[in-house]
């Protein structure tokens, strides 16, 4: 019997009678991180990392939460469970599950470059590794974060010279906090959408020291915004809310901007291939570092990624899940997958 099963409610550990990131309500849920596709309302009990708890409280409200530190073991019906840094967003964890010497790791979402705020990804030795594959094609190879941040700063400076407001589209949890750090160094006021503000306040109230931001209000004077910076979630792009910032320039922070033409298809002014997910090289490095004899690839290009692993002597299979509600929902790949994987 496999230690983790792929059920219609989520990743299920029958021996421990708990689920990892269930997409339907269950009695016991172990949560990798607070993005809405991995942390859903309705379960009776949630186990997560200390840093994730206030974010779950923000998004899911009052529930029964238990939080633990990194590598702090919890025994659930005799199954040893521990959380290890995933580097995806603040508090994001890989879930290590051990029973009678068999070790499985469910990665959730992860990236292998330390972004300075989400923590460094920690490879965990295991027999079986469940990996995401959001960007599981060779065309996705990220520039170093420092270089991308320099591009963003230069773009903001150009807009400022033209008296345009720089509107950066970034997810309210994860990427918004990540881009805020270099933006604060520019010295211009940073305004944020209400969704970004709520996450910002939850983190500040839980002890995070983040740069100061101002919430965009209905009565915020237009002259206060001119030439400055606004961070907004993808849901705000193209809505009447944006009219307040005219004249403005829109820059989308997303790994999908790696594909030439996506910025044009989205009718945006600038695209920055900044992702909170591992790129092709990061995925391969993570898989190899675990030493796993078996790999299951989930959400993303799982067919292509698992096929590549099998062709390179790593036993792999693909599994369809209901994850992928954050960056996955913006997928706009215009190239043929079969051609790309063989290039």
**How confident is the prediction along the chain (343 residues), in pLDDT tens digits per residue?**
899 999 999 999 999 999 999 999 999 999 999 999 999 999 999 999 999 999 999 999 999 999 999 999 999 999 999 999 999 999 999 999 999 999 999 999 999 999 999 999 999 999 999 999 999 999 999 999 999 999 999 999 999 999 999 999 999 999 999 999 999 999 999 999 999 999 999 999 999 999 999 999 999 999 999 999 999 999 999 899 999 999 999 999 999 999 877 766 667 899 999 999 999 999 999 999 999 999 999 999 999 999 999 999 999 999 988 897 555 443 332 333 332 333 3
What local confidence, expressed as pLDDT, does residue 329 receive? 40
> Starting at the edge strand that comes first in sequence, how are the strands of the sheet with 79-85 ordered?
74-76, 79-85, 93-99, 102-106, 128-133, 294-300, 315-318
Q: What angle do CA 225, 227, 233 make, to 5 degrees?
A: 60
Return the structure tokens found at 197: 């503000």
pLDDT at 342: 33
CA atoms in the 13 A half-sphere facing the CB of 9: 19
Cβ contact 97:73 at 8 Å: no
User: What CATH code is assigned to 145-272?
Assistant: 3.40.50.10890
Residue ranges of domains in the chain? 5-140+276-341, 145-272
Look at residues 19, 243, 256, 23 and name the one whose alpha carbon lies nearest to residue 137. 256
Residue 302 per-residue DSSP state: H
Q: What is the DSSP string of 89-126?
A: STT-EEEEEEETTEEEEE--S--SS--SSS--------
Write the DSSP assignment of 31-89 as a string of letters: -S--STTTS-TT-SEEEEETTTHHHHHHHH-S--EEEE-TT--EEETTEEEEEEE--SS
Q: Which two tokens stand for residue 267?
A: 């009718």
What DSSP state is assigned to residue 127? S
User: What does the block give as tokens for 113?
Assistant: 């470059």
Query: What is the pLDDT at residue 320?
Result: 87
Residue showing tokens 């019906």: 77
* Under 8 Å between Cβ of 225 and 165: yes
Q: How many CB atoms lie within 10 A of CB 226?
A: 15
CATH 3.60.15.10 fits 5-140+276-341, yes or no: yes
Measured CA angle at 303 (ends 302, 307), to 5 deg: 110
Cα(138)–Cα(135) distance, rounded to whole angstroms?
8
- Joined together, the tokens standing for residue 320 give 């369809």
């Amino acid at each position: 019997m496999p230690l983790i099963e792929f059920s219609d409610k989520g990743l299920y550990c029958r021996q421990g009678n708990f689920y990892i990131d269930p997409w339907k309500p269950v009695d016991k849920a172990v949560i990798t991180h607070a993005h809405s596709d991995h942390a859903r309302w309705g379960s009776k009990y949630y186990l997560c990392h200390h840093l994730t708890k206030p974010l779950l409280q923000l998004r899911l409200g009052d529930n029964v939460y238990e939080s633990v530190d990194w590598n702090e073991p919890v025994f659930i019906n005799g199954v040893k469970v521990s959380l290890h840094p995933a580097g995806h967003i603040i508090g994001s964890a890989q879930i290590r599950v051990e029973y009678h010497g068999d070790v499985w790791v469910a990665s959730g979402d992860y990236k292998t470059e330390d972004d300075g705020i989400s923590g460094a990804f920690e490879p965990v030795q295991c027999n079986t590794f469940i990996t995401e594959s959001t960007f599981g094609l060779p065309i996705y190879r990220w520039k170093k974060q420092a270089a991308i941040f320099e591009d963003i700063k230069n773009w903001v400076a150009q807009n400022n010279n033209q008296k345009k407001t720089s509107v950066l589209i970034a997810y309210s949890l994860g990427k918004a906090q990540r881009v805020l750090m270099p933006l604060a160094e520019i010295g211009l006021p940073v305004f944020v959408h209400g969704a970004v503000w709520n996450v910002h306040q939850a983190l500040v109230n839980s002890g995070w020291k983040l740069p100061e931001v101002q919430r965009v209000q209905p009565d915020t004077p237009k002259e206060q915004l001119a030439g400055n910076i606004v961070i907004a979630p993808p849901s705000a792009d193209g809505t009447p809310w944006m009219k307040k910032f005219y004249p403005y320039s829109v820059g989308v922070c997303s790994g999908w901007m790696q594909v030439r033409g996506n910025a044009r298809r989205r009718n945006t002014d600038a695209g920055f291939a900044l992702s909170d997910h591992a790129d092709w090289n990061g995925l391969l490095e993570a898989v190899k570092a675990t030493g796993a004899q078996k790999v299951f690839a989930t959400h993303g290009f799982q067919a292509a990624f698992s096929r590549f692993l099998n062709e390179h002597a790593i036993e792999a299979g693909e599994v369809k899940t209901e994850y992928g509600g954050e960056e996955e929902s913006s997928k706009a790949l215009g190239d043929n997958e079969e051609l790309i994987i063989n290039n």
